[in-house]
Amino acid sequence: MMMMTMKMTTQYTFWILLIFSILIASCSTILALGGPGIGTNYGKYGSNLGVPEIGINYGRYGSNLPPPEALPSLVSSLSIKHVKTFDMDPRVTKSFANTGISLSLCIPNDKIPILASNLSEAESIIRNLILPYHKNTIITSISVGNEVSLLPQFSGKLVPAMVNVHRAIKRYRLHKKIKVSTTHSLAILSRRFPPSTAVLHKSIAESVLKPLLRFLQRTNSPLMVNVYPYLAYKQSYPSIPLDFALFQPENSPKRRRYTDPYSGIAYTNLFDIMLDSVDSAVKSLGLPKIPVVVSEIGWPTSGDPGEAAASLENARVFNQRLVEHLRRRWNKVPVYIFALFDEDQKTGAAVEKHWGLLFGNGSRKYDLNI
Ligand SMILES: *[C@@H]1O[C@H](CO)[C@@H](O)[C@H](O)[C@H]1NC(C)=O
Ligand SMILES: *[C@@H]1O[C@H](CO)[C@@H](O)[C@H](O)[C@H]1NC(C)=O
């Protein structure tokens, strides 16, 4: 969401394809009841990475946000034990010392070019920003940049930068504890629907994502993807029913299913479809399965006029049912909810400012039982 403006544009284009495929091929099936058993492909592998089941993103583009020292008690009050940041601020890292709350850190995008060519720079980042803190603060992963795999100025340098960060971590013998990865928007998929036919964007599939996935496999690190059913719903309106995007109530007799015509797998919600499309796209590169972490997911509480689905009640329902959906699955997929706070300083569409579980003053926007 740091680069939300860009993402929104790329995702708009992308979802137009989904709208079309749904309208042309499968609108009737998404509304149909019955069909074969419900299932998914994603997540059918052990990940055992010490990564969270439910975590939360801590973005900082808000006025009046509480000081870092106040974070652990706010996060604990939500019963969340895992936090993902968009930077490596020592004050934040320090504030989570001895709290039992784990951190996923992020190296800012603009560092990627120098990290790709200069191992000493990577070592200096690890020496200065990780080494002094990792004994007291649980650090599980470092994302090298945020949603850069499709940006030409970074994409060619991304894997070399990740390799150097991993080397630096290994040099300090932290590689078993701290995984190196990078977050992707779902715009890396040029086709997502039906999920069994999803493929990665041609421009980066072989040149960037294949070596990247091989790196993740070699280092036993997860693929991190940002998954936004809200954007998919909004951009394909009205072909995806709102309750399909909001995870339908488990025992509703009117529960809808969408059956993938090629795999025969039946889906009851948009989230499962989106994750299975990631699974198929990785497979389409000829690579084995890889553990996936959903690095961002959420639902906005407010937006521009015309965005009626962005509401307090829908955000509460989405996040609550997401938590319950994940709890029920035997094959766990860790997620980081977006986000801890509303970020009123974000530019772009109004909807970007309203993803928080908490107001800046720390009080809850709605109840969420995790
Ligand atoms: C590489 O990074 C180190 C540490 O930050 C710096 O001292 C050195 O000048 C850099 N070398 C090059 C060629 O940029
Ligand atoms: C926190 O901020 C929200 C939104 O501005 C406001 O409605 C609420 O009353 C505030 N809570 C406290 C305890 O000040």
DSSP-assigned beta bridge partners for residue 189: 200
> What is the pLDDT at residue 188?
97
Q: In angstroms, what is the span from residue 203 Cα to ligand 1's centroid?
A: 31
Residue 277 covered by a domain = yes
Nearest to 247 by CA among 264, 231, 267: 267
Q: Residue 322 belongs to what H/E stretch? A: helix 312-328
List, for residues 112-170, the tens digit of each pLDDT value: 999 999 999 999 999 999 999 999 999 999 999 999 999 999 999 999 999 999 999 99
Residue 280 covered by a domain = yes
Q: In angstroms, what is the span from residue 65 Cα to ligand 2's centroid?
A: 12
Residue 57 covered by a domain = yes
What residue ranges of the chain have pLDDT lower than 50? 1-36, 45-51
63 lines ligand 2 (CB under 6 A): no
d(CA 344, CA 353): 5
> What is the pLDDT at residue 327?
84
> What is the pLDDT at residue 319?
98
Query: Active-site residue 123, yes or no?
Result: no
Q: Mean pLDDT in the chain?
A: 88
> What ligand is nearest to the CA atom of residue 121?
1
28 lines ligand 2 (CB under 6 A): no
Residue 51: CA atoms inside 13 Å, Cβ hemisphere, count? Answer: 29
Catalytically annotated residue among 53, 121, 206, 296: 296
Nearest to 227 by CA among 293, 169, 309, 170: 293
Residue 8 covered by a domain = no
d(CA 14, CA 118): 35
366 lines ligand 2 (CB under 6 A): no
DSSP-assigned beta bridge partners for residue 102: 82, 138
pTM more than 0.75: yes
Catalytically annotated residue among 147, 206, 250, 343: 147
> What is the pLDDT at residue 26?
38
| Full domain range(s) for residue 317 | 30-353
> What is the pLDDT at residue 50?
43
List, for residues 19-67, the tens digit of each pLDDT value: 444 433 333 344 443 334 566 777 654 344 444 589 999 999 998 899 9
By CB atoms closer than 10 A (0-12, 13-18, 19+), residue 177 is middle
Residue 40 covered by a domain = yes
Nearest to 326 by CA among 82, 100, 34, 43: 43
CA 71-309-311 angle, to 5 degrees, is: 40
> What is the pLDDT at residue 52?
53
How many domains does one find in the chain?
1
Assign residue 156 the CATH number of its domain.
3.20.20.80
Residue 101 covered by a domain = yes
Q: In angstroms, what is the span from residue 121 Cα to ligand 1's centroid?
A: 6
Distance of CA 47 to CAs 44, 221, 295, 331, Å?
9, 9, 15, 9
Ligand 2 pocket test, candidate residues 64, 357, 363, most atoms within 8 A of CB = 363
> What is the pLDDT at residue 218?
96
Query: Active-site residue 147, yes or no?
Result: yes
359 lines ligand 2 (CB under 6 A): yes
